[in-house]
Amino acid sequence: MLKIGTVAAILTFCSVSTAAPANLGSDAWASTSSGSYTTPPSWVATGGSTYETSIPSGYYNSMSYAHNGGSNSTDAAGASATVSATDSASAAAAATFSTSAAAPATPTGMSKVQQILLSDTRADAINNVLTSDSDFIFDFQQMRKYGPGKGGEIVQANRKAFPALTGTGMSMAVGFLGPCGFNTPHVHNRASELLIVTRGKVVSEMVIENGVVGGADGQPRDIVNTVEEMQATPYFTGALHTQYNPTCDEAMFVAPLSSEDGGISLMAQNYLAMQDGTIAAGMGNHIDGADIDRFRGMVSVSVAQGVEQCLQTCNISKRK
């Protein structure tokens, strides 16, 4: 049997050995009497700015300690109930080291699109953001506003309106064109479009770009087609295009786009938003300055009633 003096000496040695690593300063380590820690490891000698790469694997099993800021005395006391004194000191260092492996907290105060874009994986986005089955349904009919144009409307499902599209690289527009309804000339800044008529028929026009000419006179080519039900026509990215319904019945089309945020720029409305002198110059100075405001007032909203012959055929009075 060991003598009492021997047991006391062993306990004293053990207490010094386990306490020494908790002191990160090299001066405190050099003052120990055991001689075991008179030469600090290289990561302490450099000021302790680099952690040891060998962190005990047990510290990754309980991430809550690190997440709760385990450097305070309350957390240290809680940790000591399950780990030894040596482990408590090392866990304090491991707490900061292991936070990089922690899953990020759910973003707050952000739109669903922003949260999806910040998610590490698509699975995270679906599990944490698109949590309801209804997040995967978009009702074009329910989203109709029946205005402001009287000729119909375009309902667009882009990623802002339908966050589930985020990351898919696509969106969709559905056009409801009333009798003589006119979707004014526009371009899509970041998307090509494929228009498919699903009801009635639509007259389509497209001017592609400079250099695409329509004849010997060198004028831009205007590609005009009457697109019948279940026929399709494409519009290239940035190409100027328009549609109108030449009949007295409602027409409808669906139009997938090659971007979840394709953008739209209404040519007439945006052109007339410029300075009067710029507008006049662009028109060949054929419009007097006094006529500019009156000309602006003749430009309809996004989907408007137009096409003189159709209005007459359907007995629709022009707006003054």
Q: What is the pLDDT of residues 223-238, one digit of tens each?
A: 999 999 999 999 999 9
What is the C-alpha separation between 207 and 301, in angstroms, rounded? 21
Contacts of 141 (CB under 8 A, 6+ apart): none
Confidence of residue 109 (pLDDT cuts 50, 70, 90): confident
Neighbouring C-alpha atoms within 13 Å toward the C-beta of 202:
31
Residue 250 has pLDDT above 80, yes or no: yes
pLDDT one-digit tens code per residue, 289-306: 666 666 665 555 444 555
133, containing H or E segment = none
Query: Which pLDDT belongs to residue 6?
Result: 55
Q: Which residue has better confidence, 316 or 98? A: 316
- Give the three-state DSSP class for 152: strand
- Read off the pLDDT band of 311 (50, 70, 90): confident
**Per-residue pLDDT, 9:** 53
* Ranges 59-73, 141-155, 237-251, 254-268: which has the least confidence: 59-73
- Distance CA(254)–CA(49), nearest Å, equals 60
Buried b or exposed e, range 253-265, using 16+ CB within 10 angstroms: bebbbebbbbebe
- Whole-number pLDDT of residue 261: 97
**pLDDT (average), residues 226-253:** 96
Instruction: Look at residue 281 in the predicted model and tell me its pLDDT.
Output: 80
Work out the average pLDDT over 179-202.
94
Check residue 279 and give its pLDDT: 80
Residue 287: what pLDDT? 60
Residue 111 has pLDDT above 50, yes or no: yes
Comparing CA positions, the residue from 28, 23, 47, 46 lying closest to residue 38 is 28
- What pLDDT does 27 receive? 41
- Mean pLDDT rounded to a whole number for the chain: 72
Which pLDDT value is given to residue 262? 96
Summarised one tens digit per residue, pLDDT across range 12-62 is 544 444 444 444 343 434 444 444 333 344 443 334 433 333 333 332 222
Q: Residue 269 — pLDDT band, cuts 50, 70, 90?
A: confident
E strand spans, 114-201: 152-157, 171-177, 181-187, 193-199
Mean pLDDT along residues 154-166: 97
**pLDDT for the residue 293:** 66
Does 148 or 77 have the greater pLDDT score?
A: 148
Highest-confidence segment of 11-25, 121-135, 257-271: 121-135
Query: What pLDDT, on the 0 to 100 scale, is given for residue 108?
Result: 62
Q: Is the pTM of this model over 0.75?
A: no
At residue 99, the pLDDT reads 36
Decide if pLDDT at 209 tops 70.
yes
Nearest to 87 by CA among 50, 59, 49: 59
Q: Could you tell me which residue, 218 or 75, shows the higher pLDDT?
A: 218
Q: In this model, does residue 74 exceed pLDDT 50?
A: no
**Could you tell me whether strands 202-207 and 265-266 are parallel, antiparallel, or unpaired per DSSP bridges?**
unpaired
